[in-house]
Structure 1
Amino acid sequence: METSFALTGKGYVIIASDTTAARSIVKMKIDEDKVKALGPHLLMAHSGEPGDTLQFAEYVERNIRLYNIRHNYSLSPSAAASWVRRSLAESLRSRHPYSVNLLLGGYDVPAKEPHLYWIDYLGTMSEVPFGAHGYGSYFALSLLDRYHNPDASLEEGIATLKRCIDEVAKRLIVSPSKYTVKVVDKDGVREIEV
């Protein structure tokens, strides 16, 4: 029943994910942060099998941090997304593949533009203006298609995100009650309240 959304706007990327950790019909935790800051200008929302998501998210975070330490240079969003996609594709061909779906967003400081990447458990990657994973995507993608504006201000982007959250709450039988929402822009990563 996991749900995550992301959208780009004029100089920012917003990523939101529910905070529920559940297995089958049992809710185990309601304060799980499924949006991980990978760097000063890089965010990743993860969903899928609980053990796989946590292990893969920490693996990605540690390797991106190691790259930054070794080279004294942060990966751009496109380079980070390509590395994550390759890591998922390699694990798919191993005996222990990760069952993880990702939304990776970041702000490319030299180019001064936001980027959002949709990555699934098969290692498929696409740069998108907006994206969603989970059961909420069945309802949110049509709203994002209708209301997304690539030149929208942050307030307009948050309003579009609220529409998605409200629609999922209205239509999904077992809808998440709380979301973690983070923004990345030229000033870095920050969490906001919706």
Structure 2
Amino acid sequence: METSFAITGKGYVILAADTTSARSIVKMKSDEDKIKTLSPHLLMAYSGEPGDTIQFAEYIERNIRLYQIRNNYPLRPPAAASWIRRSLADSLRSRKPYAVNLLLGGYDTTTYTPHLYWVDYLGTMTELPFGAHGYGSYFALSLLDRYHDPEATLEEGLATLRRCIDEVSKRLVVSPGKYKVKVVDKDGIREVEL
């Protein structure tokens, strides 16, 4: 029952993910952070099988950090998205594939543009103005299609995100209780309260 959303706007990307950790009908935790900070201007929201998600997110985080140490500059969002997609595609062709879906949001400090990438467990990747994963996406994508504005301010983007969260909590049978929301822009990454 995992749910994650992402929205781009004028100079920012907002990522939101539920904080519930559950297996079958059992809720084990309600304060899980499913958004990983990969670099000063790069975030990744992940969902999928519990063991795979944590292991893959840490693998990506460590390798992107290693790249930054070796080359003295961080990967830009398009390059990071391509490398992550390739890592998932390679794991799919191994004996132990990762069952992980991702939303990768970043701010490119060289071109001053926000980027959002949707990646699924099969290694499919596309750049989008908004995206969602999980059961909440069935309700949120139509709202995002209607209310998303690429020139929206951060407050307007958060209002659109609130609409999505409200709709999911109203319509989904087992709705997540809380969400963690993070924003990445020219100033870096910060957590936002809804």
Q: What's the TM-score bracket when you normalise by the shorter of the two chains? A: over 0.9
C-alpha separation in 1, matches of 2:27 and 2:191: 24
2:34 corresponds to = 34
What's the secondary structure of 2:177's corresponding residue? Answer: coil
What's the secondary structure of 2:96's corresponding residue? Answer: coil
2:53 corresponds to = 53
1:74 corresponds to = 74
2:172 corresponds to = 172
1:133 corresponds to = 133
Q: CA deviation at 1:4?
A: 0.1
What's the secondary structure of 1:81's corresponding residue? Answer: helix
Q: Deviations over 1:4-59 (max 9, x none)?
A: 00010000000000000000000000000000110000000000000000000000
Identity of aligned residues (%): 79
1:87 corresponds to = 87
What's the secondary structure of 2:138's corresponding residue? Answer: helix
What's the secondary structure of 2:169's corresponding residue? Answer: helix
Runs of 4+ in 1 over 2 A off after TM superposition: none
C-alpha separation in 2, matches of 1:97 and 1:180: 27
What's the secondary structure of 2:143's corresponding residue? Answer: helix
1:163 correspondence with 2:163: yes
C-alpha separation in 1, matches of 2:30 and 2:78: 32
Amino acid at match of 2:30: I
Q: How many pairs were matched up?
A: 194
Q: CA deviation at 1:87?
A: 0.1
Q: Deviations over 1:85-121 (max 9, x none)?
A: 0000000000000000000000000100000000000
Q: RMSD of the alignment, in Å? A: 0.2
> What TM-score does the superposition give when structure 2 sets the normalisation length?
1.00
C-alpha separation in 1, matches of 2:9 and 2:75: 21
1:186 corresponds to = 186
Q: CA deviation at 1:162?
A: 0.1
C-alpha separation in 1, matches of 2:99 and 2:68: 27
Q: Deviations over 1:134-178 (max 9, x none)?
A: 000000000000000000000000000000000000000100010
C-alpha separation in 1, matches of 2:166 and 2:77: 29
1:142 corresponds to = 142
2:104 corresponds to = 104
What's the secondary structure of 1:6's corresponding residue? Answer: strand
1:13 correspondence with 2:13: yes
C-alpha separation in 1, matches of 2:73 and 2:184: 18
> What TM-score does the superposition give when structure 1 sets the normalisation length?
1.00
C-alpha separation in 2, matches of 1:122 and 1:173: 27
Amino acid at match of 2:34: K
Q: CA deviation at 1:64?
A: 0.2
Amino acid at match of 2:43: L
C-alpha separation in 2, matches of 1:110 and 1:92: 33
